[in-house]
Chain A
Amino acid sequence: MLIHLVRQRVRMAWNRVSRGPRRALRVVGVLVAVLFTAGFVILAGLNAGGLVDRVTRNDPLAAGQSLPVLLVGVTVLTLITSLSSAFHHLFLAGDLELLLAAPVPARGLFGLKVLEIWRDSLHVLLFQAAALYALGQALHFPVSYYARALFVGALLTLAASALGASLTLVLARMRFGESILGLSRLLAILLLLPVGVLGVPALGFGRNRVPSLLSPADVNAVTDQLKSIGPPPAWAPTTWAAHLLLGDEAAGLSLALLVVTAATLFVGAQLAFDTIFQASWERVRFSASSGSARRLKWRLPAIVADKGPVLAIVQKDWRTLIRDPRWRTGAIISLVALGLPAMLLFAGDPLARAGHITRFWFGMLPVPYLAFLIGSQQGAATLAYEGRNLALLRAAPVGLTRILWAKVLGGLALVVLVTWAATLSLGFRHNGEPLETGAALLAATWLAVGATLAAVAGAALTADFEGDNPQRRVGCLGTIVTSVLSIVFFVSNTGLFVWWVVRAVLTVPRPLLGFMPFIDWALPAVALGAVGAIMLAWRIGMQRLATWEAS
């Protein structure tokens, strides 16, 4: 049965790419998404291996320590990532009722769910594969190591996914289970940050770039840290996996222990599924949502029907978004995991020794970053969460332009709130004059509007409104399009603003003096081009929405 279910999933994935209208465009989109995502993660993994290469030159013993550390990291990351995706697959998947109504054996259904959860950790798996490959190269392991690495990598991550599924089943029965799962998503993002740090520079410069960015002192620090960890605990499955990979004298026993532990874990997880799933599913599917909606009912003022459709859509969006735990955790994750570190970094006043103007304006750098970050997320969410109900909006006597503006306004509320709060707090921290702070607020508003517009336009271009999971409706290609539009706007407009500040109140750096006329002309042109690109995307997106029909 499991094979039948997996075959059907593969068939759907294949049909998604190969059938239906605009096939060529979809193929290109998938290729770009695969190259971008896989390339990013694989290069990050290669960089991690490259780092080990440099540690090896320092201290081969410390480099040997890196293998169990890597395996622990990847296993924990898979477990936490699986906690966040298991909830959707186990309880909210659209076809769950159809599968449950059929005599599908619990083992088949559980196997399918574990594989789906495992598939969602694909980025972790790719990172792991690349890192293990690079590590093998750095430590000059024999060819048999790579076959063992494949087996160990799959086994550890599959077992972590099964464990994640079991924990999710238990948490779903608990009162604060959903909050804990939200927290796990936050943790997953935080843990992925190091992967991003290793991957981002790799995009442009290729392998070994990050290690070469690290100074010898940094490499020494990593070496010391690895040495200070000491020998890994003998009871940890990741230690057995490391023995197996190294092919040392404990490899045989480690293989046996690893297989027995994984088998026990799978059997335990299957038993947990058999015992708990039905009750957890009924609780999530039929009980929890009505309760939370009732609790929220009295907190919000009534929708103002006589203020026009735009306001009604904005109000509706806010109600539906804040009542959706997936949106809530997503927004909190962005703010806490990605926004807060930038704020804390600049709240520390890193430019304290500079003059007032430099200190004030450059101390404001988290503001455009926050505008970009929250804007691209919120703008895309307001449109993507509409899903098939877009047909309902289009059936009303409201033009598409007004619908899209309502989406921009809906997304903008949080973006403006966050960027203004950041501007005011940083302005206060850097002793800004009222006029300066006012100008900064204006600039922040402009950047917030631009980022949100870019996100709505990007979502209009690519969102799959029929998708089950609203968080995935924009998809890889949509995220890339939205990010490119937002980044070009963010970089060009922030750059222009910085240039104006430098020109007006600071001294232009000597190397740039010769290029001043060119920069004076080129920067506004690029900034204007970015706005034009967003407008173009907006227009094409509107055309797409105008012809979109719910199936």
Chain B
Amino acid sequence: MAPPSPIIQASGLTKRFGKLTAVRELTLEVGAGQVFGFLGPNGAGKTTTIRMLTGLVRPTSGSALVAGYDVTLEPREVKRRVGYLAETPYLYPKLSGREFLSFMAGLYEVPAAVARQRASRLLNLFELADRADELVETYSHGMRQKLALAGAMLHEPPVLFLDEPTSGLDPRSARLVKDLLVALVERGHTVFLSTHVLEIAEQLCHRVGIIDRGQVVATGTLDELRQQAQRNAYSLEDIFLQLTGGSEERELAAFLRER
């Protein structure tokens, strides 16, 4: 079977903040209709990469095409075609859930009647319908996460960038999100997923990219990554720890020994 045509293409993407290079010469491709897992230790440059690919932050050098549009030259066209769920999404505490979704529909220019329908459907899907007319400030962390995800999906973007989408969700809601991602991909959407939960990446992702200290250290399917890592790496966790130097694991072990 021919590999799907790439919907995200990044080439030599670099971002510097003053003297700090957050992302260095990042090159990757994500095929349309796939779930791409983007893994890496804290501070590795995952969020900066997503911010560049969504047109939020301009790369210092390099280029990227998302849904056929250049993120530097046509950021607005890119934004129209992507949904972005930030790691700590901002929600307006003084709007109700339904009002927030209406607002998001306005931002993405979704016609009002369509937006109302989609909002109702998403609120039902995420089990928020009962509380839809209450202010967001009364929502729990998980409910907020679900509302933010609904907001990112409201305009039915072909590409979804999700930064830690299951953070703070209970197992039932986390499962719901996983099922939803599978359903979205079946309908042709592409998901670029940044996560620390390796189990999710293992279950859902067609391909995985691992970033460490701003550089992509490996990309490919799980089998391909296994080949790139040492022979005794069976799970994604083993591969991840080997490719990123396992520094966190070593630090944790050292900390426990000190205790």
Complex Cα–Cα for A141 and B241 (A): 80
Complex Cα–Cα for A290 and B20 (A): 10
Asked if B234 is an interface residue, CB under 8 A from chain A, the answer is no
For B104, what are the chain A residues with a Cβ–Cβ distance below 8 Å? 102
CB <8 Å contact, B137 and A97:
no
Interface size on A, residues (CB 8 A): 30
Asked if B202 is an interface residue, CB under 8 A from chain A, the answer is no
CB <8 Å contact, A101 and B137:
no
The residue from B89, B93, B99, B103 contacting A466, defined by CB atoms under 8 A apart: B93
Q: Which of B43-101 contact A (CB under 8 A)?
A: 54-58, 76-77, 79-80, 84, 86, 89-90, 92-96, 99
Asked if B139 is an interface residue, CB under 8 A from chain A, the answer is yes
**Nearest CB of A to B23, in Å:** 12
Give the nearest-CB partner of B95 in chain A: A12
Contact (A99, B76) CB under 8 Å given A12-B92, A12-B95: no
CB <8 Å contact, B95 and A11:
yes
Asked if A278 is an interface residue, CB under 8 A from chain B, the answer is yes
CB <8 Å contact, B89 and A98:
yes
Contact (A551, B94) CB under 8 Å given A102-B108, A105-B76, A286-B17: no
Complex Cα–Cα for A1 and B136 (A): 23
The residue from A12, A16, A101 contacting B84, defined by CB atoms under 8 A apart: A101
CB <8 Å contact, A16 and B94:
yes
CB <8 Å contact, B93 and A103:
no
Give the nearest-CB partner of B54 in chain A: A101
CB <8 Å contact, B84 and A287:
no
Asked if A104 is an interface residue, CB under 8 A from chain B, the answer is yes
Asked if A307 is an interface residue, CB under 8 A from chain B, the answer is no
Mask: chain A, 1-32; 1 = CB below 8 Å from B; 0 = not: 10010001001110110011000000000000
Contact (A551, B137) CB under 8 Å given A15-B95, A101-B54: yes
CB <8 Å contact, B135 and A19:
yes
Complex Cα–Cα for A551 and B143 (A): 11
**Nearest CB of A to B220, in Å:** 29
Asked if A196 is an interface residue, CB under 8 A from chain B, the answer is no
CB <8 Å contact, B17 and A282:
yes
Asked if B111 is an interface residue, CB under 8 A from chain A, the answer is no
CB <8 Å contact, A101 and B80:
no
CB <8 Å contact, A103 and B108:
yes
CB <8 Å contact, A95 and B92:
yes
CB <8 Å contact, B58 and A15:
no
For A290, what are the chain B residues with a Cβ–Cβ distance below 8 Å? 17, 20
For A282, what are the chain B residues with a Cβ–Cβ distance below 8 Å? 17, 57-58
Complex Cα–Cα for A104 and B75 (A): 11
For A11, what are the chain B residues with a Cβ–Cβ distance below 8 Å? 95, 99
Interface size on B, residues (CB 8 A): 33
Asked if A100 is an interface residue, CB under 8 A from chain B, the answer is yes
For A98, what are the chain B residues with a Cβ–Cβ distance below 8 Å? 86, 89-90
Complex Cα–Cα for A278 and B17 (A): 13
Asked if B247 is an interface residue, CB under 8 A from chain A, the answer is no
Contact (A287, B137) CB under 8 Å given A97-B90, A103-B76, A103-B80: no
For B137, what are the chain A residues with a Cβ–Cβ distance below 8 Å? 20, 466, 551
CB <8 Å contact, A287 and B17:
yes
CB <8 Å contact, B58 and A97:
no
For A278, what are the chain B residues with a Cβ–Cβ distance below 8 Å? 58
Give the nearest-CB partner of A4 in chain B: B106
Asked if A529 is an interface residue, CB under 8 A from chain B, the answer is no
Asked if A509 is an interface residue, CB under 8 A from chain B, the answer is no
CB <8 Å contact, B95 and A8:
yes
**Nearest CB of A to B88, in Å:** 9
Give the nearest-CB partner of A466 in chain B: B93
CB <8 Å contact, B94 and A99:
no
Asked if A94 is an interface residue, CB under 8 A from chain B, the answer is yes
**Nearest CB of B to A174, in Å:** 14
Which residues of A are in contact with B by a Cβ distance under 8 Å? 1, 4, 8, 11-13, 15-16, 19-20, 94-95, 97-105, 278-279, 282, 286-287, 290-291, 466, 551
Q: List 10 extra interface pairs beyond A97-B86, A101-B55, CB under 8 A.
A: A8-B103, A19-B135, A95-B90, A95-B92, A98-B90, A102-B79, A103-B80, A103-B109, A466-B93, A466-B137
Which residues of B are in contact with A by a Cβ distance under 8 Å? 17-18, 20, 54-58, 76-77, 79-80, 84, 86, 89-90, 92-96, 99, 103-104, 106-109, 135-139
A-B contact pairs, 11 of them (CB 8 A): A4-B103, A13-B94, A15-B94, A15-B99, A20-B137, A95-B90, A95-B92, A103-B77, A103-B79, A282-B57, A287-B20
